[in-house]
Structure 1
Amino acid sequence: MSNLKSLNSRKTVGTRNIMFEIKRDWMLYMLLILPMAFFLVFKYVPMYGVTIAFKDFNLFQGILKSPWVGWDVFKEVFSMPEFYRALRNTAMLNLLDLIVGFPAPIILAILLNEIRMNWFKRTAQTILYLPYFLSWIIIGGIVTQLLAPQSGLVNIFFKSLGMLPVPFLTEKWHWLLTYCLVGVWQSSGWGTIIYLAAITSINHELYDAAEVDGAGRLRRIWHITLPGIKNTIIILLILNLGRILTLTFDRPYIIGNSYVIEFSDVLSTFVYRVGLQSMRYSLATAVGLFQSAVGMIFLLVTNFIANKCGEEGIW
């Protein structure tokens, strides 16, 4: 009986503390209403649309009145050869981006941190950040003007030297290299922001002590800078692995063409071509749900591995 009374008294005290905090900071809680409403309306309520993947969706009947078909849509998707080609290409392009593009902002951030001339550092950062603010339509136009087989400036220069034109955009292996390098050029500068912020949080006395002990610049980078941003690298790596089957539509669609469709057809373009253009919304939703489920599995597995290895994951 006494234990029950003590438990009730603790609950009462806890409730009073919560009410006291709400009364004290009510303005802060009011500020949370708008972002919470945003996520509720635009993130959680639309999740009901996932049920389209399990229905024979009819645009005129709507989601509620469309008949249920269970897993038939997924069976149809998994029986399509084009789906497996798009799945392979999505995983391959994301993996190449991870191998080629993930280390690039780390290296750039370390190089920028080592620059001592502030004016040059600010100028370099501005130049590196600029491509991120260009749309892929503009970038696609730049790539075409530079790398087109006959009219591109690069191939015109090659031909003026008596060399054969390089099929950067019309041969699948050359296109693969072009795709990766253009992605690095577009995103690596912006990615340095997070790493530069992590580097600035490192105690500068460690660098001074290492310099007194005779450590050179490379030694300081290897033993101080990289361990100092290790947690940031791991978290971003986990997030990137969670998006291993999620590839934006614009980049492969703008740079790709019919000559390299064997590599450029990814899940997002597959959904656009087979699902949306043909008005097969159930199929498009099923592929999107499959991507989200696989991405969640990768996220959980990589975070679990990071925690087991003694590193700090996302949670």
Structure 2
Amino acid sequence: MVAQSKKSTLTTVRGNVPKSGAALPKAGQAAGFIHGFRQWWPYYAMMTPGIIFFLIWHYVPIWEAKMAFEQVRIIPPNIWVGLKNFQALFSSPVFYQVLANTLIISGMKIIFVFPVPIMVALLLNEVRSGPLRQTIQSAIYLPHFLSWVVIAGVFVAFLSPTDGAAGQIARGMGLQPINYLTNTGTIRWVLVFTEIWRSAGWDSLLYLAAIISIDTQLYDAAEMDGANRWQKIWHVTLPGIVPTIATLFILNMGMFLSADLNQVINLQNDVNASTIDIIDTYVYRIGLTTGEYSLATAAGLFKAVIGMVLVLVSHLISKRLTGKGVW
């Protein structure tokens, strides 16, 4: 009898225990959320400003993207016009000029700027002296914290053909100084160089972190097999950071048509405007200067859709080639 009673009690208790994967009662979920919030509330508090920022400046504007299909009126409501704004956009020769400029500048940055942080991270990883590495890192990280206004002022002074350092060096070598900021053949290279100078050091942080996370036993095994430093970089380090490279490349493709508004607008002048006028400056000009909000929204929506398509395509290609992607 006692054994049967114990068995019956055990069966009852087991029957009351939720099965694995079964949903908890709502009261239990609420209690768990409250307990977690009390435990982690300082972190939620630190996240709140960032969440509010993204809600206001990134998510709320998504709803207003419908202006691309409307005729904006001073007194609401707006008038629905369908694809009329896109037809006007694609029939404008100016738009195709700024699209070509954007593709050229963004392509140059992908080819010449994107690989530089990878090389910087590989070189920093080979510096064995801790103080020397810290000094180099401090020097190359500093430009990231300067605004494009300051950077543009520095390079305008440096590249001046009359009293700038570049002009004085050219005259010292017996060459004719070039005004790089007004020369339509060199201004795009100025954008590339200034982008490298500002972002290469800071962007190398992600690659350096990925290199540090590589198992050191792989380097020991390669050294036992007789690999030199270059061979260890090629066969151990680079394969170890391929997932990071693939992820950042896909994210960069999503911003392919941006070409950095802040940089361009600070280095743009009346002479080089036709060469470095990009979609973002075009949207800024027609939206805030001429008040064509619907047309500017249509151009911005076009850029966003192309960016999304580029992310999807580059993700699929990366998955097929390397087995790694964003998701």
What is the TM-score with the length of structure 1 in the denominator? 0.89
Decide which moves more: 166-175 or 231-240: 166-175
Tell me by how many angstroms 1:151 deviates: 3.0
Q: Is the 8 A contact 1:253 1:264 kept in 2?
A: no
What are the ranges of 5 or more consecutive residues in structure 2 without an aligned counterpart?
1-17
Are 2:18 and 1:14 aligned?
A: no
SS in 2 for 1:259: coil
May I ask how many residue pairs the two structures share in their alignment?
Answer: 304
1:234 equivalenced with 2:243 (yes/no): no
Whether 1:290 aligns to 2:302 is yes
The whole-number CA distance in structure 1 between the counterparts of 2:195 and 2:57 is 29
Residue 25, structure 1, aligned to residue 40, structure 2: no
Q: Do 1:245 and 1:295's aligned partners in 2 also have CA atoms closer than 8 Å? A: yes
Structure 2 residue identity aligned to 1:84: Y
Q: Read off the aligned partner of 2:36 and give its amino acid letter.
A: D
- For 2:186, the equivalent position in structure 1 comes to 174
The residue identity in structure 1 corresponding to 2:279 is L
CA distance in 1, matches of 2:295, 2:108: 27
Change (3 A) 1:109 1:239: same
Task: Give the Cα–Cα distance (whole angstroms) in 1 for the partners of residues 194 and 137 of structure 2.
Answer: 18
Q: What amino acid is the match of 1:48?
A: W
Distance 1:39 1:166, change over 3 A: closer
- Quote how far apart the aligned CAs of 1:161 are: 3.6
Q: 1:303 aligns with which of 312, 315, 323?
A: 315
Q: Distance in 2 between matches of 1:50 and 1:253?
A: 24
User: In the alignment, which residue of structure 2 is the partner of 1:53?
Assistant: 68
In 1, the alpha carbon distance for the partners of 2:72 and 2:269 equals 31
Query: Which residue number in structure 1 is paired with residue 145 of structure 2?
Result: 133
1:269 to 259, 281, 302: 281
Equivalence for 1:5: none
Residue identity in the other structure for 1:43: H
Q: How does 1:90-101 map to 2 (within 5 A)?
A: 90-101=102-113
Give CA deviations for 1:80-126 in whole Å, capped at 9, x if unaligned: 11111111111111111010011100000010011011111000000
Once the 2 structures are TM-superposed, how far is the Cα of residue 162 of structure 1 from its aligned partner? 2.6
* Aligned-pair identity (%): 36
Distance in 2 (alpha carbons) for counterparts of 1:297 and 1:134: 32
- 8 Å CA contact retained: 1:53, 1:73: yes
Which residues of 2 match residues 177-216 of structure 1 at below 5 A? Answer: 177-216=189-228
Question: What code does the residue aligned with 2:23 have?
Answer: G
User: Is 1:117 the counterpart of 2:126 in the alignment?
Assistant: no
Deviation at 1:251, TM superposition (A): 0.7
Question: Do the aligned partners of residues 40 and 272 (structure 1) sit closer, same or farther apart at CA in structure 2, a change above 3 Å counting?
Answer: closer
Q: Counterpart of 1:211 in 2: which secondary structure?
A: helix
Counterpart residue number, 1:108: 120
Q: Which amino acid aligns with 1:44?
A: Y
Q: Determine if the alignment matches structure 1 residue 73 to structure 2 residue 82.
A: no
AA partner of residue 113 (structure 1): N
CA contact (8 A) 2:286 2:293 kept: no
Aligned-partner residue type, residue 123 of structure 2: L
Matches of 1:42 and 1:127 in 2, distance apart? 33
Q: Give, in whole Å, the separation in 2 of the partners of 1:187 and 1:233.
A: 16
RMSD of Structure 2 on Structure 1 (CA): 2.2
Cα distance per residue 1:46-100 (max 9 Å; x no partner): 3211111111112x325xx121111111111111111111111111111110100
1:262 Cα deviation after fit:
2.7
Q: Distance in 1 between matches of 2:131 and 2:240?
A: 26
TM-score (norm 2): 0.86
C-alpha distance in structure 2 between counterparts of 1:146 and 1:36, whole Å: 40
Indicate whether 1:224 and 2:236 are aligned. yes
Matched, 1:87 2:99: yes
Q: 1:3 maps to what in 2?
A: none
Measured against aligned partners, the alpha-carbon deviations of 1:193-229 in whole angstroms (never above 9, x if no partner) come to 1001101100112112222221100000000000010
What is the alpha-carbon distance in structure 1 between the residues aligned to residue 227 and residue 218 of structure 2?
11
Between the aligned partners of 2:24 and 2:287, the Cα distance in structure 1 is: 51
